[in-house]
Structure formats: C-alpha cells, structure tokens
Structure 1
Amino acid sequence: MSQPAPLIACHDCDLLQREITLKPGCAATCPRCGAVLYRNATDSINRTLAYAMSAALVFLVANGFPIFAIESQGSLKGITLMGAVHSLWGQDMQAVATVVFITAVVIPALEILSLVYLLLPLRLTMLAPGYNQLLRLLRLAEPWGMVEVFMLGILVSLVKLTSNFRVIPGVALWSFAVLTLLIAAAAASFSTRDVWCCVDRINGRRVAP
C-alpha cells in the first residue's frame, strides 16, 4: 500500500494540503489564496552550486584589487574596498564604515560560503554538519546582502569624482558587477524544497518526485 503524499502548509494562509507531482519548471499554488507553494526547479542544486563557486572566485578578485584609481598631479592611487572602509573609519564615519563592511563584505561572503558548504556535500550525496542551522542562517542573512546598493554608490561616487580628477575603473569594479549578477542568479536558482528533498533521499526517507 503506497504512502500518502506529505502534507504541506501554505506560508500565506496556513492551508494544509498534499504535495502533488509537478513537471520540471512548473509550480504548485495554494487553491485558497493562490500563493506559490513550491516549484519543481530544474537541477537547482547543481546550478546554485556552480553560481556560488563562481561568485566565490569573483569575490576574492573584487576584494583583492582596486575598485578604481584616482590620478592627481601625475600620481596614481588605487582604492580597494577595505581601503575605503579604513578611510571612512579614519574620517570619524564609523557607522558608515561598519554598514559598508557588513553589507558589502561580511554578508556576501557568508551567503557564498554557506551555499558552497551546504550544497557541495549534497552534490556528493553527503550532509554537511549543522545544515538545519545553516538554512535558517541563509534566510536571516538574505535581506542584508546589498552588493547592488554598494555598486550604485560606487557609480555615483565615480560620477562626482570625474569632475575633479581622472578616475580609472579597476578590476574590482567590474568584478563587483559580475558578483552582483552571480549572487542574484544563485538566489533565483536556490530551492529550499529541493535541498530538503535531497536530504530526505540521503536519509533514506520517501519524498514526492
């Protein structure tokens, strides 16, 4: 006798209902409120892992090379992200420096490392220690990742600086642009349900296809 499909609750109206089998790329919606319950993403774990590992490499470049260089009176001075944070701190702008450091360095690094730490073992049919807490951490950290806002701030600063100095965009500037796209792609392809389904398969429990 086959077991009934697992029960799930709508995150909007709390209606309990049975999971249904979906075709690849389709989504299940709540019959009461119409909210999306889950999607049958196509190979979401492999795609998210690929985006996260690419983002990790780009993140290292973005933080290791100058964002831009300023040429003044024949001298050229490059400015890295950490150099900008240090400069803001030294100008008695500790609050701004802290916000920039957390939103442009700490949170993106935390998101990228967490995704790799979680998904790479799953790709190898293993479970990362503490994966329950890690999924909660990813949910909490998601709203604080603001690389795109940081990019907008850099562009505004470049426009203002060009009226007084010759500004040369650095490798890190383009890297941050690529990093923004990779993080967005990883967030779009990441599926918590697929992670739990993979965990259940590794633990030997039945999951709906």
Structure 2
Amino acid sequence: MQEVPDLIVCEGCDAVYPRPELHSREVARCRRCGTVMARHWGRMHERMLPLTVACLILFAIANFFPIVKIQLRGLHSETTLVGAVMTLAGEGLSEVGLLVLLTTLLFPLVQLCVLLYLLLPISLRNQPPAGFRILVRAMQVMRPWGMIEVFLLGVLVAVVKLSGMAQVIPGAALWAFMGLTVLLTAVLAFEPQAFWRLTFGRQGENMP
C-alpha cells in the first residue's frame, strides 16, 4: 500500500484531508466527526522524562510505605499495597487481590518503565531504542488497565468510613498515591502515537 505523506485519514470516519501544518500545542480535528487527527506536542517530550522519573519515585514510596495507620483502643494496624493484596488472598479473595495487583501495581509500573526506556534514548540521542515499535504498541494496549485513580478513590472512601469508628492516620503512601495520580494523568496524556512523530518525523504520525 502506497503512503501519501501529504494526506491524513480520520480514524473515526475515514475522511481524508490534506495534512495540516500545526504550530505548538495546536490540534487538528475532523470536520465531520470531531476526532483528533493530529496534534503538535511542542517541546512536551523534553518534560516527559523528568515527570516519568518523578512518577517512579512516587510509585516506590506508594508501595514501600504504609497507606494508612488505624488506631483503636490502644491497638494499631497499618499495611502497604502489597500487604493489602496478600490479605485479600488470605481471606479467599484471590481474584480480587490479583486484579488489584495488576491494575494498581504491575500495569502502571510496566507503563512507567517502558516510557522511561523509550524516552531516554530519544531525549539524549534522538534515536529509538531496540524494540521501539513493539513497546509503543504495548503501551497503547496497557493504558486502559492502569487504575491507580480508582484504587485511590476506594481508599479515600474507606478512610472516611473508618474515621467514624477509629483514628485513621494517613501514611506516606497515601500522599504518594495522590501525587502519583496527578502526575500519571499528565504523563499518560502523552499519546503513544506521538513517539512515531518524534522519532520518524511527519510520516511517523499516523503509522500503526
């Protein structure tokens, strides 16, 4: 199939348009269905690397430190995310524990590690790393499965309910999860297709 670099096809309705010349932070949308067809990220990729490193630091704090500490009648209890997963497994809720482990630990961690692996050579040498195509596609597949914000919402609801029965002290991990949720929103907004643009130029923008 012959590529036509001066044309762009809408992924929503297959309408064909001349490829627009975009300036920094401009977005091109389909006139028929409103689908975003092209986006100029400006120098966003240069800020993605430090944001990704910050996400990994917060991710480590969120998983190695207690989420909350509960005190009741002189007794206290605290747990980490991994500890909560193990507790679920021990109470016969292995499926729920596995789901929590995958969506709040494994998938977000893999996404961040892949993002760091992709950004380092692009930022330092302007060259794609080995396995570039497979990893960009993998990021696009994993994106819907990272649900840290859902986990955080559940924890906050539980904290509010428990505060009426016991003293609940937020741990370092809870604050780290809050910061991580904000940073991940910014980091994962950087669409995987933008890597094609950064690495292969104009013709890379719509490559699969």
What is the TM-score with the length of structure 2 in the denominator?
Answer: 0.88
The aligned residue for residue 9 of structure 1 is: 9
Note if contact 2:139-2:192 (Cα within 8 Å) is conserved in structure 1. Answer: no
Alignment of 1:1-209 (within 5 A): 5-124=5-124, 125-188=126-189, 190-200=190-200
Letter in 1 for 2:194: D
In 1, distance between residues paired with 2:69 and 2:50?
32
Whole-angstrom CA distance in 1 between matches of 2:157 and 2:175: 15
- CA–CA separation in structure 1 for the residues paired with 2:43 and 2:96: 40
Identity %: 37
Cα drift, residue 206 of structure 1: 7.2
**Structure 1 CA distance for aligned equivalents of residues 104 and 194 of structure 2:** 28
Alignment deviations for residues 89-119 of structure 1 (CA, whole Å, 9 cap, x no partner):
1000111111111111011101111111111
Preserved contact between residue 41 and residue 191 of structure 1 (Cα < 8 Å): no
User: Which amino acid in the other structure matches residue 112 of structure 2?
Assistant: I
Question: Counterpart amino acid of 1:77?
Answer: S
In 1, the alpha carbon distance for the partners of 2:38 and 2:102 equals: 31
What's the C-alpha RMSD, in Å, of the aligned pairs? 2.0
Instruction: Provide the rounded CA distance (Å) in 2 between the counterparts of 1:113 and 1:45.
Output: 16
The answer (yes or no) to whether the contact 2:67–2:78 under 8 Å persists in 1 is yes
- 2:107–2:146 Cα contact (<8 Å) kept: yes
RCO (CA 8 Å, sep 6+): is it higher in 1 or 2?
Answer: 1
Does the 8 Å CA contact 2:140/2:192 hold for their aligned counterparts? no
Distance 1:206 1:173, change over 3 A: closer
CA contact (8 A) 2:11 2:37 kept: yes
Deviation at 1:193, TM superposition (A): 4.1
Q: Kindly tell me the number of residue pairs found equivalent between the two proteins.
A: 201
User: 1:80, 1:58 → 2: CA distance?
Assistant: 14
Per the TM alignment, residue 21 of structure 1 is displaced from its structure 2 partner at its CA by: 1.2
SS of residue paired to 2:28: strand
The runs of 5 or more residues in structure 1 that have no matched partner are: none
> Bigger shift: 101-110 or 6-15?
6-15
Per-residue Cα deviation, 1:159-183 (whole angstroms, up to 9, x for no partner): 2222222111100000000000010
Please, which runs of 5 or more residues in structure 2 have no aligned partner?
A: none
1:81 CA drift (Å): 0.6
| 8 Å Cα contact 1:117-1:128 kept in structure 2 | yes
TM-score when normalising by structure 1:
0.88
Q: Which is worse superposed, 129-138 or 21-30? A: 21-30
Counterpart contact for 2:136–2:195, Cα < 8 Å: no
Q: Please report how far the alpha carbon of residue 41 of structure 1 lies from its aligned counterpart in structure 2 after TM superposition.
A: 1.5
